[in-house]
Amino acid sequence: MRFPKLGVRTRILAIALAPSVALVVVGLGAAGTLVDRSHRARGWADEMQAGIAPTRALIEAVQTERRLTLWRLAGLDTDVRQLTAARQRLDDALRVLAPTQESLTRMGPESMGQATDAIGAVATRLADIRSGVDAGSLALPEVYAFYNRIPQSVMAGVEIAEKSAPDAATTVELAQAADVLRSLEAMSRAYALGAALLDGNTLPPELGTEYLSLVGFYRTHIDAIVTAPDEQQATAAKALVATPAWARLGVIEPVLAQRTLPAADTTAKHPTAQQLPIAIADWQRSAEEVARGLADLWQAENTEAQHLAGAAASDTTRTSLWAGAGMVAVALVAIAVAVALADRVIGRLKRLRDRTFALADEQLPETMRRLAAGAGLDAELEQPTLDFGGDEIGQVAAAFGHAHATAVAAAVTEARTREGVKSVFLNIAHRSQVVVHRQLEILDAAQAQQQDPALLDIYFRLDHLATRERRNAENLIVLAGGRPGRQWRNPVPLLELVRSAVGETADYTRVETGRLPQAFIAGLAVADLVHLLAELIDNAASFSPPQSRVEISGTSVGRGVVVKITDQGMGIAAGELERLNALLSAPPDFGVASLSGDSRLGLFVVSRLAARHDISVRLSDSDFGGIRAIVLIPSSVLEGSTPDRQKGEGEHLPRW
């Protein structure tokens, strides 16, 4: 299925509409998520609020039954009716808490369910523990540990509630409430264990240590709450600490703590123990009053935490609704602005289109016609003015103008290149004419002196000139991109190849050939390599003093064979040397203007020949101040066998 092509205006509107719609969708989604989160936070606060009273009733009930049970096991005269009422109270509290446990399990994480299940598991064993207490078959430490499990499970649930609180303020408030609950539990445990110390009895060592830790724990924590940054909590704690009941506990607890130490005579009941500073009844009333005060403080802290959670939920709902409405408004404004901008952009693009068509259909053909006629160009033809501002459309207009100017410049360059090529080939043609002219003069002299003994020398010079003329002709072929007609089928020794190259140079008498490795060049590369070396040797002789020598040496390397051509000239400047090496490594197009009549055509020919056989040629400064040309003949051009002289003609190199 093919979709219709859309215009620029439609695409601009689509570009604006797509993010706007996405913004609306994301905004509504985010608002919905926040509203849902606020609803869950509200539900969390309501469930937690509903669980405060049953939880307090459970904690007070288990603390009361634990205290009366431990007192009975310690031998105190307890009222059986009070113990029975405490047991009934705990059963009622567990029954009332059951629905709240189910709600918290559904709302909280999996660990919350584990905490509530732990309370249920303790409740199932409650009847067996009570029977054991009544029968006197359970020891005080075992009963004490059992009754501690329910408050411990409640504390685990409180910690889980802290982690699942909807906001940080609620979490902080719950943490403060948890500290109060821990202090209440520590004070209640100490109150329950203290009964065993009233009549001079001693606690088991582990419970004696437990009593000291509990007293120190709850008093230290309450003192810390007095100086807490929460003013409401600190005020309530200060009021509790200022009560006579708190003071009376502070008087009797050190005496009971002293009795936790074992007596010297294990059969005695601390005969030297300090007498109780207050009556037991006053101690009981004071402990119960402090416990109620701590429970009230804990309940107040929990209520405040639920209020904070509810307020945070309301704020989240209100903020999310405003945010969603704001995003919708922003999207509508963005669409309106996009429509206005799209109309303006389309108008500018239409004007740019018309101007570009005028350049392509009228101005550029006129420019090409004038170049073909050899006429000059004015500034408007070479660089048209497309002023459409400085924004992206203006930049596109500038790009069109630049493209037009580039096309004109390319046409101008092409014309100049054609002139340069003509000049190059004329230059080479003139050189060939000079050589031919000299050759004719020598031939005339030979004809006039046929009986002269110097005839052999004349023939030698004719041969040499003919060789040079042949190389000049081959230059034309190379510059044209062709291949010379000379070919060898069999490998040729490197030494013979170098000598042939020397013979093709003008100042061959100044060339000194040193030691060369025993290597053979493949027949297909012989002609090109002779030509390449001859050009380099000619350059070395041309740019060095007439009395100096040009030295040729070679060596075998890992990648092939290296031939070095060293002169004793004035050298080349560093920048120019770098440019020449770049030319040798990557031959440019012969049509460029830099290869006109005054260019180094020999190096261009060398570059072409080297690239044909993957030969590396590099120029560097020599030890004598001149230039050293380093020619690396790769292993792919070398062959390991000697040439077969019986395979036919054309296998021998010309004389030098």
Q: Is the dihedral of CA 323, 324, 328, 329 positive or negative?
A: negative
Q: d(Cα 476, Cα 478) in Å, to the nearest integer?
A: 5
Residues 35-78: pLDDT tens digits? 666 666 566 566 666 667 777 888 888 888 888 888 888 777 77
520-521 and 492-493 strand pairing: antiparallel
Determine the average pLDDT of the residues in 124-147.
Answer: 85
- The CA-to-CA distance between both ends of the chain, in Å, stands at 77
pLDDT at site 2: 53
pLDDT at site 628: 93
Residues with Cβ < 8 Å from 611, sequence gap 6 or more? 586, 587
Which letter does DSSP use for residue 547 in this model?
T
The 3-class secondary structure across 73-123, one letter per residue, is HHCCCCCHHHHHHHHHHHHHHHHHHHHHHHHHHHHCCHHHHHHHHHHHHHH
> Would the pLDDT of 416 be above 50?
yes
Determine the average pLDDT of the residues in 606-614.
Answer: 89
pTM of the model: 0.45
pLDDT at site 175: 78
pLDDT at site 459: 64
Q: Which domain holds residue 283?
A: 8-327
pLDDT at site 494: 92
Q: d(Cα 161, Cα 41) in Å, to the nearest integer?
A: 12
pLDDT at site 9: 64
With beta carbons less than 8 A apart as the criterion, state whether 544 and 506 touch.
no
- Among 36-40, 320-324, 334-338, name the one with the lowest average pLDDT: 36-40
> Burial level of 365, CB count in 10 A (0-12/13-18/19+)?
exposed
**286 falls in which pLDDT band (50, 70, 90)?**
confident
For residue 386, being part of any structural domain is answered with: no
- Among 155-159, 300-304, 392-396, 587-591, name the one with the lowest average pLDDT: 587-591
Considering 237-246, 307-316, 326-335, 639-648, the range whose residues carry the highest mean pLDDT is 237-246
Residues 179-212: pLDDT tens digits? 888 888 888 888 888 877 776 667 788 888 888 8
For residue 648, being part of any structural domain is answered with: no
Q: d(Cα 128, Cα 446) in Å, to the nearest integer?
A: 144
Coil, strand or helix: which one is 1?
Answer: coil
What is the share, in percent, of the chain residues with pLDDT greater than 90? 10
pLDDT at site 150: 80
Residue where a domain stops, chosen among 327, 356, 382: 327
**656 falls in which pLDDT band (50, 70, 90)?**
very low
**441 falls in which pLDDT band (50, 70, 90)?**
low
**What domain count does the chain have?**
2
Pick from 401, 396, 370: nearest CA to 385: 401
Q: d(Cα 387, Cα 398) in Å, to the nearest integer?
A: 8
**564 falls in which pLDDT band (50, 70, 90)?**
very high
- Tell me the C-alpha to C-alpha distance, in Å, between residue 147 and each of 43, 122, 150, 575: 32, 9, 6, 96
Residues with Cβ < 8 Å from 646, sequence gap 6 or more? none
pLDDT at site 649: 38
For residue 337, being part of any structural domain is answered with: no
> Which stretches within 557-623 are classed as H helix?
574-585, 601-612
With beta carbons less than 8 A apart as the criterion, state whether 217 and 183 touch.
yes
Determine the average pLDDT of the residues in 76-97.
Answer: 83
For residue 414, being part of any structural domain is answered with: no
- Residue reference for tokens 């429970």: 295
Mean of all residue pLDDT scores within the chain: 75
Residues with Cβ < 8 Å from 279, sequence gap 6 or more? none
**Dihedral pair phi/psi, residue 454, rounded to 5°:** -75, 5
For residue 223, being part of any structural domain is answered with: yes
Higher pLDDT, 290 or 52: 290
Coil, strand or helix: which one is 630?
Answer: strand
pLDDT at site 635: 92
The 3-class secondary structure across 39-59, one letter per residue, is HHHHHHHHHHHHHHHHHHHHH
Q: Which two tokens stand for residue 199?
A: 């009549």
Q: d(Cα 147, Cα 65) in Å, to the nearest integer?
A: 8
> Would the pLDDT of 648 be above 50?
no
pLDDT at site 83: 84
Q: d(Cα 188, Cα 196) in Å, to the nearest integer?
A: 14
Strand order of the β-sheet with 616-621 is 511-513, 550-557, 560-566, 627-634, 616-621
pLDDT at site 28: 66
**655 falls in which pLDDT band (50, 70, 90)?**
very low
Query: What CATH number should be reported for the domain holding residue 597?
Result: 3.30.565.10
Q: d(Cα 520, Cα 500) in Å, to the nearest integer?
A: 14
pLDDT at site 653: 55
Pick from 460, 571, 438: nearest CA to 509: 460
For residue 172, being part of any structural domain is answered with: yes
- Tell me the C-alpha to C-alpha distance, in Å, between residue 268 and each of 211, 248, 279: 21, 28, 23
pLDDT at site 373: 56
With beta carbons less than 8 A apart as the criterion, state whether 519 and 639 touch.
no
Classify each residue of 103-124 as buried b or exposed e, where b means 16 or more C-beta atoms within 10 Å of its C-beta: bbbebbeeebbebbebbeebbe
pLDDT at site 646: 39
Determine the average pLDDT of the residues in 620-647.
Answer: 78
**450 falls in which pLDDT band (50, 70, 90)?**
low
Looking at residue 620, its amino acid is S
Query: What DSSP line would sit under 444-481, residue for residue?
Result: HHHHHTTTSTTHHHHHHHHHHHHHHHHHHHHHHHHHTT
Other C-beta atoms closer than 10 Å to the C-beta of 131 total 11
634 membership: H or E segment, kind and range: strand 627-634
Q: d(Cα 127, Cα 118) in Å, to the nearest integer?
A: 16
Looking at residue 455, its amino acid is L
pLDDT at site 645: 44
- Among 35-39, 66-70, 144-148, 236-240, name the one with the lowest average pLDDT: 35-39
Determine the average pLDDT of the residues in 364-370.
Answer: 69
> Would the pLDDT of 634 be above 90?
yes
> Would the pLDDT of 569 be above 90?
no
> Would the pLDDT of 426 be above 60?
no
> Would the pLDDT of 265 be above 50?
no
CA atoms within 13 A on the CB side of 26: 9
Residue where a domain stops, chosen among 292, 327, 362: 327
Pick from 106, 116, 125: nearest CA to 54: 116
Pick from 101, 99, 96, 97: nearest CA to 114: 101
Looking at residue 168, its amino acid is A
pLDDT at site 312: 66
Determine the average pLDDT of the residues in 269-284.
Answer: 70
For residue 445, being part of any structural domain is answered with: no
- Tell me the C-alpha to C-alpha distance, in Å, between residue 109 and each of 1, 99, 157, 239, 274: 51, 17, 10, 37, 52
pLDDT at site 266: 43
Residue where a domain stops, chosen among 296, 327, 358: 327
- Among 89-103, 268-282, 431-445, 507-521, name the one with the lowest average pLDDT: 431-445
**121 falls in which pLDDT band (50, 70, 90)?**
confident
- Among 86-100, 150-164, 487-501, 511-525, name the one with the lowest average pLDDT: 150-164
pLDDT at site 594: 47
pLDDT at site 57: 83
For residue 76, being part of any structural domain is answered with: yes
Q: Which two tokens stand for residue 254?
A: 């050190």
> Which stretches within 613-650 are classed as H helix?
none
**631 falls in which pLDDT band (50, 70, 90)?**
very high
Q: d(Cα 358, Cα 356) in Å, to the nearest integer?
A: 5
13 membership: H or E segment, kind and range: helix 8-74
Pick from 233, 56, 87: nearest CA to 151: 56
